[in-house]
Amino acid sequence: MKYEYIVKEALAEFTAYISSEKGLSPLTVEAYSRDIAAFIAFLSRFAIDDFVSITSDLIVAFLAHMQATGYSSATICRHLIAIKVLFRFLTGEQIVTKNPSSHLESPKLWQLLPEILTAEEIKALLAQPSMSSESGVRDRAILEVLYGAGLRVSEACLLTIYDVTDEFLRTMGKGSQERLVPIGRYALAAIDRYLSLYRCRYDSEKLLTLFLSTRGRPINRVAVWKMVKGYAKKASITKNVSPHSMRHSFATHLLENGADLRVIQELLGHATIASTDRYTQVNRRQLQRSFTAFHPRP
């Protein structure tokens, strides 16, 4: 049996397994399938005709190849997680007897956080959208919400005009968990400007989504991702900036200014404090750098 055929059959079974038995979301299933497909494409250059011949060295070679190609640590880690899930499935189905990924440790999550923007960089980024155009006014409001409320990009895209009050944003997070997030005056002013100047042109009874494209359609996460990237480049920010960078900057800046970790957990919508605790790891690294830089006897 050709390797391509074996891979095709196993991948189909694996996809069915993670979507039905594991109950993963369609987006997660798609991401896992895409990551495994990339791994399989890499393996095609080797003379391998079954899964049994895949070794931990080959997995490491694939990850090293990704790193050399310029992929981020977070993307590489995600591919490794997908490979680990795949081999757990293969061993469970007795397609292989040995799991070559079992001893490969994922990097600690806090080491894979997007780069944090400084307060000055946030200010420069927020200043980029033009306040004389519909897209610029809308983009400024989106940026203010991402940083001012720490929303996930998907949460910002799903906001409706009725989710905004004078004090809070109501959003649906992971697992369809509703939460209320305080909204600051800058974000509120940006939303009000967008609503009064441009959003009012569209029928709010038929289309409830808050942020729309210039064609009157709900804006999507890809458009927001490209928008943030574009403004970061325009602001001459050399860091790898994404919408998630805004969320992480929101949390880190709160922590640096004395906010309680439990409060940050609630604001971010984390199910457990363990997810929020990674920010203390980032802060410890900053403390260590400050100590080394400024203490007379570090």
**128: nearest Cα among 220, 214, 219, 237:** 237
Q: Let me know: does 212 contact 197? Beta carbons within 8 Å.
A: no
Q: Which of 65, 170, 244, 253 is catalytic?
A: 244
247 an active-site residue?
A: yes
Rounded distance between C-alpha atoms, residue 72 and residue 76, angstroms: 6
Hey, which bits of the chain come out as E strands?
Answer: 168-172, 178-182
- Per the annotation, the verdict on 193 as an active-site residue is no
For residues 279 and 134, give the distance between their C-alpha atoms in angstroms, rounded to a whole number: 36
Q: Would residue 215 show up in a list of annotated catalytic residues for this protein?
A: no
Q: Which of 8, 22, 34, 174 is catalytic?
A: 174
Q: What is the dihedral of CA 262, 263, 269, 272, to 10 degrees?
A: 0
Catalytic residue among 199, 247, 248, 278: 247
* 42-44-50-55 Cα dihedral, nearest 10 degrees: -40
Catalytic residue among 138, 140, 152, 199: 152
Is 244 considered catalytic here?
yes
Catalytic: 270?
yes
Distance of alpha carbon 36 from alpha carbon 78, whole angstroms: 10
Count, residues in the chain: 298
**Is 108 a known active-site residue?**
no
- Residues with catalytic roles: 152, 174, 244, 247, 270, 279
